[in-house]
Structure 1
Amino acid sequence: MSWKARRAFYLLYITFLLGAPSVMLLPNASLGSGASSSNQVFSIAWASVHLVSVVIILSGKWRFSDLITAPILFGLLTIVSSTWSSDPLASLLYGGMLTGNILVARQFALETSPRDIVRLVTFIIIALCGLGILLYYLGLDQTIWYDTRSRVNFFGGEFLRGLFPHRITGAIYAVIGAVGAMAVMTGARRIVSLVIASWFLLLSAAATGYVLIVVGFLAYAVARRSVRKKTSYQTFFVTRGILGVAGAVAVLSLWETVLGALGRDGTLTARTLLWEWGLEAWRVKPLFGWGYNAYFESDHAAYAHALSEGLRYYDVPHFHQSFIQTAVDLGLAGVLLVVIVLTKALIDSYRVGVIDAGAGSAFFSYTVVLIVAAFSGYVFAEYNYFCTFVLFVIFYAGQRAARSPDPKIGGQMRGPRSHLVTRPRL
């Protein structure tokens, strides 16, 4: 398969992961009853994408050592969890999809330079944000997120979700797009992209987005400045880690004030109740969990849900916290592998910055954004989901940079299939 064909596939694959096809083909999830129904065209489309991804995966060069990495082990754990799962078929099916996502992420990272990864991701996100805003103003129902409590956005209208499955998810993507624009764009393209991302954040009115845009830009600026000063990654992580902890303590000490400014209650819209439930479920099976994506099909979940006064009338798809959700699904084993992936992604993204300051700093910012978002949402370890995919892309791109003995400056890295490492024309 030629590089142009592969590039087209990656564009399509990422578009599917971002959720645009689901928005156009499935009922609006914010309308409640019946919104989660399936669509035959959508299912066939995703199945076709997965079939092509198998060709992409098999075309790659593999060594046995490539299989002994935290992402692959995590994927295998999700599949193997079907043997003790509360819903064996779901764990096997969804675990297989997640493993496929991981393998495609690996191949994408090996075939594409860090800068081109950021360019491609930024292009797709900003394009979808802009198109979503346009369709929103044209009155397309699918782009609107109807709030059950009749809240409004910054301009007094309905919330925007655009061409993304949820307004909060869309806000996270807009932040990633904005950081990418800062990293790889200049001039008018950068300004237009930042305006589109900012406009999306204001229309979606997700407090998560407001927090993450500050976190994302701050992480990007700190990483880029340190890379340019040639600060060693050991010194960088020790000093910035201390500052990060101090900042977190300061935020916690002003927690009530912060929540008031963001217009949120003390339960974070019932999230704290979900976290308590999740921790209780994890304590029942602490080592390997209930099986990937299986807990809510268990009798324990049904019983706990019925007893919960604050959540009884909510449809609960997950625990709105990535580490707790992973602990419930896969126990301490799964959480340990996720922590390894995140730690390695942070360290190696900084190393990528030595090769390409913009791309490496963007990778670092993406990872920090996902970690912060993980504390109030399910943003990684979910199958067919962009945040999970981009995390593993960063892991493998960083691993490649760490292993490369003599990378070329500017992102054109030596390594497997180096003839395919070209700059996409977007």
Structure 2
Amino acid sequence: MRKSTFIDPERNEHYASAAIAASVFVFAYSIVFGFLSILVFYALWLPLVFLDYRRVLGNYTRFYWIFSFVILAILSFAWSAAPSVTIRAGIQYGTTIICALIASRTVSTSSFMRGMTIGVATVLLYSLAFGEFQYDELDGTYDFVGAFSSKNQLGFFASLGVYFAFGSFFIMRASRKWRIISLIGGTLAVYCLLYSSSATSIIATAATIVISLTLGFSLLFPPRYRKVFFSVLLIVAIAGAGIALNSGVLDVILGAFGKDTTLTGRTYLWQEGLRAFQTSPLLGIGYQAYWVQGFSEAERLWDEFYIANRSGFHFHNTYIEVLVELGYVGLVLIGTILAVVVFGNLRRLLIYPRAHSAHLLFGVSILLLIRSFFEIDFMQPYTIGSFLLYYLAGQIAIKRHADNPVYSTTFPYHRELPYPQL
């Protein structure tokens, strides 16, 4: 078999899509299937290095800003309250990032979209077949969590399924056959999203689609007018958010999902996180060194929030979690990565004549950004959020060429220029 079957984005559509889909399934259920599923994940990406290491790895010196956060996470074992936990989790996180960067160099945007759609659909079907309901002590309700331990995890995968189905119709130039497949997957994702009753996921998904759809119309204008369009849109959005906060609209939205102003205890968790952060504000207490069995503060919060298994809990805010574990330095580093991903794709979207890849990936980055205020999707190894963030970061670092325009009378569909030589 030719090497291009595996590593050339122009010719590896089948392998790339299958590898992405399998990775998504591993991220969802590695806890269920154990370490063997993680070995499958490694086997999908790391052997590609031996086929053509120059093309698969490239010049990693341009990725220095991508590795900054994980390097700090690994080094934090030196001052960690639980050094063995920190060094193990840090290395696992680093290998997840390496695999994501390999994917960013070998998987085209269209293959990425197909793989995500198939992978998410498989994950949701598995949850519907083998999932269960879980009683929420705080809400006093039974929620469908699927084969996960939390409805928010199920909601996140459903959000991705909805967004990539949307992308197939309104962003990428998908074939009729693939649109039918996307429609089926999207319908399944909508059902699971509503069934999960995850307010965070539903609101984040709706906001992401509205933003992506609105910016999509900006592509109808020449690049020199798009910045003006975006500036006006940003001003309107800020004004609308201010009005919503001051007029009680936010309370109405929360009430519709059965939430109150405490966000089901999240505000209390945030206060506890900020209090814990003050003990070591510069470098934190170490990567993943807070939620450790036997540590008094973690045990107290597990007890208060009815976490019987004493694991899988966090502060429900990426930035507070980073402050506690890696302090101000960690916050600056992870904030820089997320900002470069968001604004890098936004810049490509506003400048390139027809940047459909940037349009699709910008929506993914916006979804991660919105969820970062309520979840910690990209701070842990072997999670879909971490893989997505660093795949997007790798795409920015590669600096792919601008897309070639294909004009549409209904909505800006586009096709991509051939993948540049690496």
TM-score (norm: length of structure 2) = 0.80
1:249 aligned residue: 242
Which secondary structure state, in structure 2, belongs to the residue aligned with residue 228 of structure 1? coil
2:392 aligned residue: 394
Alignment of 1:248-327 (within 5 A): 248-253=241-246, 254=248, 255-297=250-292, 302-303=296-297, 306=300, 311=304, 313-314=306-307, 315=310, 317-327=313-323
Separation in 1 of the partners of 2:384 and 2:26? 8
> CA 1:406–1:369 in 2, change beyond 3 Å: closer, same or farther?
closer
Please say if 1:170 is aligned against 2:165.
no
Please say if 1:227 is aligned against 2:219.
yes
Alignment of 1:117-128 (within 5 A): 117-128=112-123
Q: What residue identity is the alignment partner of 2:290?
A: Y
Task: Determine if contact 2:74/2:91 at 8 Å carries over to the other structure.
Answer: yes
Separation in 2 of the partners of 1:195 and 1:130? 12
> CA 1:241–1:340 in 2, change beyond 3 Å: closer, same or farther?
farther
Task: Determine if contact 2:222/2:353 at 8 Å carries over to the other structure.
Answer: no
Task: Determine if contact 1:110/1:397 at 8 Å carries over to the other structure.
Answer: yes
Separation in 2 of the partners of 1:128 and 1:10? 13
Please say if 1:159 is aligned against 2:154.
no
Q: What residue identity is the alignment partner of 2:327?
A: G
2:134 aligned residue: 146
User: Residues 102-154 of structure 1, C-alpha deviation per residue, up to 9 Å, x if partnerless?
Assistant: 11111111112222212221221123224433x1xxxx3xx11312349798x
> CA 1:304–1:347 in 2, change beyond 3 Å: closer, same or farther?
closer
1:30 aligned residue: none
Separation in 1 of the partners of 2:62 and 2:280? 30
Separation in 2 of the partners of 1:329 and 1:350? 30
Task: Determine if contact 1:212/1:369 at 8 Å carries over to the other structure.
Answer: yes
Separation in 2 of the partners of 1:67 and 1:361? 22
1:414 aligned residue: 419
**5+ residue gaps in structure 1?**
26-41, 418-426
> CA 1:97–1:147 in 2, change beyond 3 Å: closer, same or farther?
same
Separation in 2 of the partners of 1:226 and 1:252? 27
Separation in 2 of the partners of 1:6 and 1:194? 21
Task: Determine if contact 1:20/1:165 at 8 Å carries over to the other structure.
Answer: no
RMSD: 3.0
1:293 Cα shift? 0.5
TM-score (norm: length of structure 1) = 0.80
Separation in 2 of the partners of 1:61 and 1:121? 22
Separation in 1 of the partners of 2:363 and 2:286? 31
1:211 Cα shift? 0.8
1:407 Cα shift? 5.1
Task: Determine if contact 1:223/1:350 at 8 Å carries over to the other structure.
Answer: no
Separation in 1 of the partners of 2:138 and 2:324? 32
User: Residues 87-114 of structure 1, C-alpha deviation per residue, up to 9 Å, x if partnerless?
Assistant: 1111111111111111111111111222
88, 93, 110: which one aligns with 1:93: 88
1:179 aligned residue: 163
Which secondary structure state, in structure 2, belongs to the residue aligned with residue 196 of structure 1? helix
Which secondary structure state, in structure 2, belongs to the residue aligned with residue 263 of structure 1? coil
> CA 1:72–1:178 in 2, change beyond 3 Å: closer, same or farther?
same
Please say if 1:192 is aligned against 2:192.
no
1:218 aligned residue: 210
> CA 1:88–1:312 in 2, change beyond 3 Å: closer, same or farther?
same
Q: What residue identity is the alignment partner of 2:135?
A: D
User: Residues 340-363 of structure 1, C-alpha deviation per residue, up to 9 Å, x if partnerless?
Assistant: 122211222235544765443222
Please say if 1:50 is aligned against 2:42.
yes
Task: State how many pairs are aligned.
Answer: 383
1:323 Cα shift? 0.8
Separation in 1 of the partners of 2:265 and 2:138? 17
Q: What residue identity is the alignment partner of 1:178?
A: V
Separation in 1 of the partners of 2:207 and 2:286? 33
Q: What residue identity is the alignment partner of 1:146?
A: Q
**5+ residue gaps in structure 2?**
7-13, 170-175, 406-414
374, 392, 397: which one aligns with 2:372: 374
1:81 aligned residue: 76
Separation in 2 of the partners of 1:224 and 1:14? 27
Please say if 1:207 is aligned against 2:210.
no
1:390 Cα shift? 0.5
Deviating more after overlay: 245-254 vs 207-216: 245-254
> CA 1:280–1:72 in 2, change beyond 3 Å: closer, same or farther?
same
Which secondary structure state, in structure 2, belongs to the residue aligned with residue 68 of structure 1? helix
Q: What residue identity is the alignment partner of 1:414?
A: Y
Task: Determine if contact 1:144/1:162 at 8 Å carries over to the other structure.
Answer: yes
2:412 aligned residue: none
Deviating more after overlay: 191-200 vs 96-105: 191-200
Separation in 1 of the partners of 2:164 and 2:16? 22
Task: Determine if contact 1:223/1:364 at 8 Å carries over to the other structure.
Answer: no
Task: Determine if contact 2:30/2:38 at 8 Å carries over to the other structure.
Answer: no
> CA 1:303–1:348 in 2, change beyond 3 Å: closer, same or farther?
closer
Task: Determine if contact 1:184/1:358 at 8 Å carries over to the other structure.
Answer: no
Which secondary structure state, in structure 2, belongs to the residue aligned with residue 146 of structure 1? strand
330, 334, 338: which one aligns with 2:326: 330
Deviating more after overlay: 54-63 vs 117-126: 54-63
Q: What residue identity is the alignment partner of 2:377?
A: V
Please say if 1:13 is aligned against 2:10.
no
> CA 1:249–1:274 in 2, change beyond 3 Å: closer, same or farther?
same
